[in-house]
Chain A
């Protein structure tokens, strides 16, 4: 059974520095970091102290508001430092990795026979639960609520994203185990989007409903999939999982080991030879970025994630818990003479106001981090709608978030959205408003006031 989802509104941002389909093993990272900020809304309660030894899959801390949700160590080793910030907030758990990895051995589960309860408790105790996120609010799923459906997007349309068909190849067994297990946790179905013209290893799996997705970005966003298939209403919950995390979940269920290995694409115009690496969650990015990558003294922006929604990291930072791409682009901290009125050929624009990117649909652009203008109040209208395929009024919902009208936010569709759904509108915004932050703050406010 297959269905077609065709997106018309959107924008493909074609950037220089796509990864060549070559896979290398990254240098083993001596230290692995787990940053609580990666798990939005989780208040950490530590289970380990500095100096404790951990195995891969051992819980490091749990969520104060939901004690079943545990964050596990991606590797075995010694917890060497717990970095704290203001008010003793935990910023980072630094683990020195063992030379030979040992795993917390869970028993394997036969997913075809296992009950929903068994699967759920295994995912919770093994540290695999954080890979499951929920909407509303785009946070780690609440295990006490049954989702009406689970969504997985098997296609990446974001600029310079990892090619999932390449990353997931040969992992059919793990993917199937994870999807079968997830299908037992929902009262509805597991909906999975794949590229219409691609050859995804996810295409022929069972216990799921497959959709053939085509069209420009954000066709591959899971939020788009949800909106087109079964939008979230008030009081309902859906779950979403990234396909690369399905591999980790699947392997845990099949072998009983929490193997935080991840294939990561190193991309961006600053990278000499963009390609794929095999590494682990939380690995130091220094192990990846310098070999045929970037210059040590270069003025570059390093992003864990894609250029639209990723996090800026320092050269001594680490791969975050959810990303499968590291993007490096030049910083744009320079002035440009008459940059606001001269004809522009080397930047992307959706208008044609002396911007000529529309003439070169196949050109790969080398964009930097300059904002190309100053922050202003919302002025222009109608342009967000051109790149926003969801059945929601983007500008109105953003404004509702800004003036904190909870009733309006609710009826305009806040339960359906995540910040990344507003990445494209933020990219094209003439007034340079921080859309994703506005939405994140709005969601946090709703979570606090409505719950």
Chain B
């Protein structure tokens, strides 16, 4: 193995220099390092952070591929010239519109990660591998690349590096990036013109096409044009990777099976969403709200259908489960997930300006996750204190 020896020589050459972290990042990408244990356990389990992150990325790949096909499919459907979903025409739009987003997301994000690693002299950590994949999946298709680049730079630096890098951040970096885009460039992130490729540039012309999402239709008390099976399989407009509920569910099951994603958070988020949906259905059934109310459309959506519209499932499976920003205790995860689902649907219904609340709900609960953990841990501490008391008395 000539390559192995050559790289080893180079590693020794770079050892201790500024460029060592950058070189090691590439080296450890090719080869599991030759590090051995020193003190403590002499053997270690097979999993490392790269493997863990890689598993999440693999769970996202089906969503990305579907999103690429769906990009073209929705484009031609809106133009009134429908093409087959699995066709080169669909995929072509995906390749020219989606892949650049992926490339920019990884390019800018990893460049900043490498830069910080070299400046701070630590190894390049793997957290961004997942973030970089998530970001293109949660933005509208026509988002200008420079906006994405600016947002990624903001998200990685302010959302993560200032806290100390992977493992130290408070807010989910991918959602921080989305939040930045959302508030800095709202016209590119919401409305009925951004979800289908070509809609923005044609707006106001004779060739104008619409790409209203289901949530948008509901929020305006309009008729929804898509069937439930379209919503479930994902043949609908939306952010690139979040439309296919089937693939998200499969991805979620894969993450649960590999024990990489927390089933507690996924399940409790769904329960929370269902409970909130039921409450709104109850409000409608009780007649407390009239058909003229601007909330009527979304409130009257059957509670379980909230799961297949919007991005609640994508958030539950891929976003809420980020271990760094979620609750860290098992009990805390139940509460954290439940509140995410609950608040997501609440924002979705009550916020006519932005008819999707999942990312805001997750960011909000990111902030409260340490508080939830605090109270869970206090219970353990109290038990310990109680044990002590009889002995003192």
A339 to B126, CA, bound (A): 15
Interface residues, chain B, with chain A CB atoms under 8 Å away: 1, 4, 7-8, 28-52, 54-55, 123, 125-127, 164-168, 257-260, 262, 264, 323-324, 326, 328-330, 333, 373, 377, 380-381, 383-385, 387-388, 391
- Chain B residues with CB below 8 A from A395, complex form: 328
The answer to whether B391 touches A379, judged by C-beta atoms less than 8 angstroms apart, is no
CB distance from A187 to the nearest CB of B (A): 12
- Chain A residues with CB below 8 A from B39, complex form: 312, 434, 436-437
The answer to whether B167 touches A376, judged by C-beta atoms less than 8 angstroms apart, is yes
Contact with B along A377-407 (1 / 0, CB 8 A): 1111111010000011101100000000000
B-contacting residues, A426-451, CB 8 Å:
426-432, 434-437
- Chain A residues with CB below 8 A from B45, complex form: 347-350, 372, 427-429
- Chain A residues with CB below 8 A from B52, complex form: 351, 353, 379-380, 430
> Can you identify 12 A-B contacts, CB atoms within 8 angstroms?
A329-B43, A333-B35, A337-B30, A338-B30, A351-B260, A353-B47, A355-B47, A392-B380, A426-B40, A428-B45, A434-B39, A436-B41
- Chain B residues with CB below 8 A from A355, complex form: 46-47, 51
- Chain A residues with CB below 8 A from B385, complex form: 411
A352 within 8 A of B: yes
With CB as the reference atom, state the residue of chain B lying closest to A385.
B330
- Sort A-B residue pairs by CB-CB distance and give the 4 closest, nearest first: A373-B48, A339-B32, A377-B167, A347-B46
B-contacting residues, A335-383, CB 8 Å:
335-341, 344, 347-355, 357, 367-383
The answer to whether B49 touches A371, judged by C-beta atoms less than 8 angstroms apart, is no
- Chain B residues with CB below 8 A from A68, complex form: none
The answer to whether B258 touches A353, judged by C-beta atoms less than 8 angstroms apart, is yes
With CB as the reference atom, state the residue of chain A lying closest to B37.
A369
- Chain B residues with CB below 8 A from A344, complex form: 46
- Chain A residues with CB below 8 A from B384, complex form: 231, 233, 411, 413
The answer to whether A381 touches B323, judged by C-beta atoms less than 8 angstroms apart, is yes
- Chain B residues with CB below 8 A from A392, complex form: 380
Selected from A15, A370, A379, A427, the residue in CB contact (under 8 A) with B36 is A370
- Chain A residues with CB below 8 A from B388, complex form: 233-234
CB distance from A241 to the nearest CB of B (A): 24
CB distance from B79 to the nearest CB of A (A): 40
CB distance from B148 to the nearest CB of A (A): 25
A380 to B127, CA, bound (A): 11
CB distance from B191 to the nearest CB of A (A): 36
Question: How many A residues have CB within 8 A of the partner chain?
Answer: 77
Contact with B along A120-162 (1 / 0, CB 8 A): 0000000000000000000000000000000000000001000
A42 within 8 A of B: no
A427 to B45, CA, bound (A): 6
Known: A233-B391, A355-B47, A373-B50. 18 other contacts (CB 8 A): A13-B43, A15-B43, A233-B384, A308-B43, A335-B33, A349-B47, A352-B257, A352-B258, A371-B44, A373-B49, A376-B125, A378-B167, A380-B52, A396-B328, A412-B381, A434-B39, A435-B40, A437-B40
Known: A351-B52, A393-B377, A412-B377. A377 touches B165 (CB 8 A): yes
- Residue with the greatest number of chain A CB neighbours at <10 A, chosen from B34, B41, B55, B258: B41
CB distance from B13 to the nearest CB of A (A): 16
CB distance from B52 to the nearest CB of A (A): 6
CB distance from A171 to the nearest CB of B (A): 29
With CB as the reference atom, state the residue of chain A lying closest to B45.
A428
A334 within 8 A of B: yes
The answer to whether B259 touches A352, judged by C-beta atoms less than 8 angstroms apart, is yes
A370 to B31, CA, bound (A): 13
CB distance from A282 to the nearest CB of B (A): 21
With CB as the reference atom, state the residue of chain B lying closest to A357.
B46
The answer to whether A377 touches B166, judged by C-beta atoms less than 8 angstroms apart, is yes
- Chain A residues with CB below 8 A from B29, complex form: 340
A287 within 8 A of B: no
The answer to whether A382 touches B262, judged by C-beta atoms less than 8 angstroms apart, is yes
- Chain B residues with CB below 8 A from A310, complex form: 42
The answer to whether A430 touches B32, judged by C-beta atoms less than 8 angstroms apart, is no
- Chain B residues with CB below 8 A from A379, complex form: 49, 52, 127, 166-167, 323-324
The answer to whether B32 touches A373, judged by C-beta atoms less than 8 angstroms apart, is yes
- Residue with the greatest number of chain A CB neighbours at <10 A, chosen from B4, B50, B164, B384: B384
B-contacting residues, A2-54, CB 8 Å:
13, 15
A331 within 8 A of B: yes
- Chain A residues with CB below 8 A from B387, complex form: 231, 233
Known: A233-B391, A382-B330, A393-B380. A367 touches B55 (CB 8 A): no
With CB as the reference atom, state the residue of chain B lying closest to A336.
B32
A377 to B29, CA, bound (A): 18
A184 to B1, CA, bound (A): 65
The answer to whether B37 touches A371, judged by C-beta atoms less than 8 angstroms apart, is yes
With CB as the reference atom, state the residue of chain A lying closest to B381.
A411
- Chain B residues with CB below 8 A from A159, complex form: 43
A301 within 8 A of B: yes
The answer to whether A373 touches B36, judged by C-beta atoms less than 8 angstroms apart, is no
With CB as the reference atom, state the residue of chain A lying closest to B28.
A374
- Residue with the greatest number of chain A CB neighbours at <10 A, chosen from B1, B4, B39, B48: B48
The answer to whether A383 touches B259, judged by C-beta atoms less than 8 angstroms apart, is yes
CB distance from A16 to the nearest CB of B (A): 12
With CB as the reference atom, state the residue of chain B lying closest to A438.
B40
- Residue with the greatest number of chain B CB neighbours at <10 A, chosen from A309, A350, A432, A437: A432
- Chain B residues with CB below 8 A from A352, complex form: 257-259
- Chain A residues with CB below 8 A from B34, complex form: 332-335, 370
The answer to whether B258 touches A427, judged by C-beta atoms less than 8 angstroms apart, is no
CB distance from A114 to the nearest CB of B (A): 29
A357 to B34, CA, bound (A): 22
Selected from A349, A353, A354, A370, the residue in CB contact (under 8 A) with B32 is A370
With CB as the reference atom, state the residue of chain B lying closest to A340.
B50
A383 to B41, CA, bound (A): 17
A337 to B29, CA, bound (A): 9
- Chain A residues with CB below 8 A from B391, complex form: 233, 235-236
CB distance from B393 to the nearest CB of A (A): 13
With CB as the reference atom, state the residue of chain B lying closest to A231.
B387
A434 to B45, CA, bound (A): 13
A219 within 8 A of B: no
A347 to B44, CA, bound (A): 9
Selected from B44, B127, B165, B258, the residue in CB contact (under 8 A) with A432 is B44
- Residue with the greatest number of chain A CB neighbours at <10 A, chosen from B28, B29, B49, B264: B49
With CB as the reference atom, state the residue of chain B lying closest to A379.
B167
- Chain B residues with CB below 8 A from A368, complex form: 36, 43
A213 within 8 A of B: no
A353 to B254, CA, bound (A): 9
A79 within 8 A of B: no
With CB as the reference atom, state the residue of chain A lying closest to B385.
A411
Known: A340-B28, A373-B47. A312 touches B42 (CB 8 A): yes
- Chain A residues with CB below 8 A from B329, complex form: 393, 396
- Chain B residues with CB below 8 A from A319, complex form: none
- Chain B residues with CB below 8 A from A246, complex form: none
A370 to B126, CA, bound (A): 20
